[in-house]
A = this chain, B = another copy of it.
Amino acid sequence: MNTKIKNIKMYLESNNVNPTYHRIVIFQYMENSTRHPTAEQIYTDIKKEIPTISKTTVYNTLNSFVKNGIAEKLNIADSEVHYDIPDNGHDHFLCINCGKIYDIKPEYSKSNIEIKSIQGHKITQLHCYYKGICKSCRNDKK
């Protein structure tokens, strides 16, 4: 077993996620992905490597990741939830033309919470979603 997988194992363990084969593969897939995949996309791609995997396992795994704080749900699109492995708190941009999601560099991000409480409500999370036309789609129209 290579060091990368060993690192993932340790990382999952240290976050209360029992590092089974499926979970390691899914986490590795998400770490390598830049497209903020949906459960469906993860399922389809992982299936190439593990043909017997079930969609339920993907959902279970993602829910376990989210519950233990090592993955984040992005409610940026209307119909589907996208998933992200947050490195250092950054915002996201959704292209309303092509549907692609981009990372916004931390220096432009607004979701670094410094406030702990607003109007008496205890703040634990802040999600900021930008929307518009992405660079690529803007160029295509010219």
In the assembled complex, which residues on chain B have CB atoms less than 8 Å from the CB atom of A110?
Answer: 110, 126, 128
- Selected from B105, B122, B128, B135, the residue in CB contact (under 8 A) with A132 is B122
Least distance between A113 CB and chain B CB atoms (Å) = 8
In the assembled complex, which residues on chain B have CB atoms less than 8 Å from the CB atom of A104?
Answer: 118-119
Least distance between A116 CB and chain B CB atoms (Å) = 9
Residue of B nearest to A77 (CB): B75
Interface size on A, residues (CB 8 A): 35
Known: A73-B78, A75-B75, A78-B81. A130 touches B108 (CB 8 A): no
Give Cα distance in the complex from A133 to B132, angstroms: 31
In the assembled complex, which residues on chain B have CB atoms less than 8 Å from the CB atom of A129?
Answer: 75, 126-129
Give Cα distance in the complex from A104 to B130, angstroms: 18
- Selected from B73, B119, B132, the residue in CB contact (under 8 A) with A108 is B119
Least distance between A78 CB and chain B CB atoms (Å) = 7
- Selected from B77, B81, B115, B124, the residue in CB contact (under 8 A) with A131 is B124
Give Cα distance in the complex from A2 to B93, angstroms: 44
In the assembled complex, which residues on chain B have CB atoms less than 8 Å from the CB atom of A108?
Answer: 115, 118-119
- Determine whether the beta carbon of A105 is less than 8 Å from that of B119: yes
12 A/B residue pairs, CB under 8 Å, sorted by A: A93-B121, A96-B124, A104-B119, A108-B118, A121-B134, A123-B130, A125-B130, A125-B132, A126-B128, A126-B129, A126-B130, A126-B131
